[in-house]
Amino acid sequence: MISQEAKNIMAFMAQLKIPNIQDVPIELCRQGMAGMMAFSLPPLGCRLENVDAGGVPALWIAAANADAEAKATVFYLHGGAYSMCSPQTHVGMTGLLSELSGVKVLSVDYRLAPEHPYPAAIEDAVCAYQWLLGQGVPGRSIVIGGDSAGGGLAFAALLELRRLNIELPAAVFAISPWVDLAHTGETVKTKADVDPMFTESGMDYMARLYANGADLRSPLISPLYADLRGLPPALIHVGTQEMLLSDARRMADALQKAGVDCTLREWEGLFHVFHSAVYLPEARVANEEIAAYITQHIRGN
């Protein structure tokens, strides 16, 4: 049974759910998302530092207990349908992950659609990752992660790094990853009435904004359709009340069939990226699990 706090948040989100988001200017959507995320604050003593990651803006996040001089790094890609949010909107969650794992986080401020559609986000993610390697941080000391679109972007970035023969990170975690922008999963329809955040028309609109005419099933847009062999171990979290539940399930299955060590964790009754509501008891437990996964896989501190 989920907490009363989680039920309250889902009810609040459902009241704010916009049936026709395509009619709302993107700047208003961005402001609304930033306002929702502002309730999640980083831990006390968390250090934030803007950095130029090889020409890509990024934000270092280090909790008070994280060793900023250690090589161990979480390379984070925020969600927001490729068109909203930023490292700043996600500092509550990334700060908590830093505190729970004792590892600093590099959160990438990749370019957003519609001003910068596909493949801008992938280009920025790969560029920032190469910059991190250039700082003397080996792949074995990096865990890449992301939520929603950022989860899909994490897998897309891994595919591009593999193609370029660039050293891969030690592991990947993805929270409610958006990996099928063609929206062929059954829960896009079966969970439509209980998902407090999304509508199918809104998801389709955001997918088209990002793809900008490209094939929605292109592997770098929708990693579900990619050859996933050779990717690092993966952890996927998803709530059972979200339309992207099928994305997570099918991605986990595809990774396992490709020989990738993948763990899928479904959180009963919970919503899309509930981890970002860091004040929820369920979010604390889920983020603790991800932090344990990070420390389990990172080597060469």
- Positions marked active-site: 148, 242, 272
Residues 6+ apart with CB under 8 A from 293: 143, 171, 173, 235
Q: What span, in angstroms and rounded, lies between the C-alpha atoms of 177 and 43?
A: 25
Q: What span, in angstroms and rounded, lies between the C-alpha atoms of 251 and 242?
A: 15
Q: What span, in angstroms and rounded, lies between the C-alpha atoms of 169 and 189?
A: 35
Q: Tell me the three state secondary structure of residue 264.
A: strand
Identify residue 155 by its one-letter amino acid code: F
Q: Closest Cα partner for 265 from 182, 201, 198, 173? A: 173
Q: What span, in angstroms and rounded, lies between the C-alpha atoms of 108 and 150?
A: 10
DSSP alpha helix (H) spans, 164-199: 187-190
